[in-house]
Amino acid sequence: MMKSRIKIGMVCHGIRPMELISIDELEPNFTLKAGDVGLFMVTEIGKNKMIQTVSRSATLIPGDLIMGAFGNRYATNQFEGYIPDDLKGEFHMLGGAGVIGEVKSMHQRLDEIGPTKVELVGLYTDERGQISNTISQKEQKLIPFTGDLAKRTKVVLSLGSAMDSGKTTTAAFLINGLTKKGHTAAYIKLTGTAYPKDANLAFDLGACEAIDFSRYGYPSTYLVSEEKLLSLYETLLRDVLKKRPDYVIIEIADGILQRETKMLLKNPKFMSSIHQVVFSAGDSLSAVNGVQTLKSWGIQATALAGLFTASPLLVQEVRECLDENNDHSYLPILNLEQLSMGEFPDYLRTMQLLSA
Which tens digits make up the pLDDT trace of 3-47? Answer: 458 999 999 998 888 899 998 898 888 999 999 999 999 999 999
Instruction: Give me the domain span that covers residue 158.
Output: 141-355
Residues 282 and 166 reside in one and the same domain: yes
pLDDT in tens, 315-349: 999 999 988 765 555 789 999 999 999 877 655 55
C-alpha distances in angstroms, 65 versus 19, 194, 213? Answer: 16, 20, 26
User: What is the CATH number for 173?
Assistant: 3.40.50.300
Residues 97 and 47 reside in one and the same domain: yes
Q: Which residues contact 150 (CB under 8 A, 6 or more apart)?
A: 237, 248, 273, 274, 275
CB 73 within 8 A of CB 102: no
Domain count, the chain: 2
Last residue of a domain, one of 79, 107, 137: 137
Last residue of a domain, one of 120, 137, 154: 137
Backbone angles phi, psi at 125, to 5 degrees: -105, 160
Backbone angles phi, psi at 155, to 5 degrees: -95, 125
CB 221 within 8 A of CB 260: yes
Give the separation between CA 66 and CA 15, rounded to whole angstroms: 14
Residues 199 and 59 reside in one and the same domain: no
How many residues can be counted in the chain?
356
Beta sheet of 276-280, edge-to-edge order: 210-212, 185-189, 247-251, 154-160, 276-280, 303-305
pTM for this prediction: 0.93
pLDDT score of 335: 96
pLDDT score of 326: 59
pLDDT score of 142: 97
Q: Which residues contact 156 (CB under 8 A, 6 or more apart)?
A: 174, 247, 248, 249, 250, 274, 275, 276, 277, 278, 302
Last residue of a domain, one of 137, 160, 190: 137
Residue type at 355?
S
Residues 201 and 346 reside in one and the same domain: yes
Residues 241 and 325 reside in one and the same domain: yes
Q: Which residues contact 320 (CB under 8 A, 6 or more apart)?
A: none
* H-helix or E-strand spanning residue 344: helix 343-355
- Could you say which residues of the chain have pLDDT below 50? 1-3, 350-356
Residues 102 and 165 reside in one and the same domain: no
Residues 126 and 216 reside in one and the same domain: no
Residues 96 and 183 reside in one and the same domain: no
Q: Where would I find the H helices in 166-283? A: 167-180, 197-204, 226-240, 259-265, 268-271
Residues 310 and 193 reside in one and the same domain: yes
Residues 184 and 324 reside in one and the same domain: yes
Residues 64 and 109 reside in one and the same domain: yes
Residues 121 and 187 reside in one and the same domain: no
pLDDT score of 23: 87
pLDDT score of 346: 59
Residue type at 214?
S
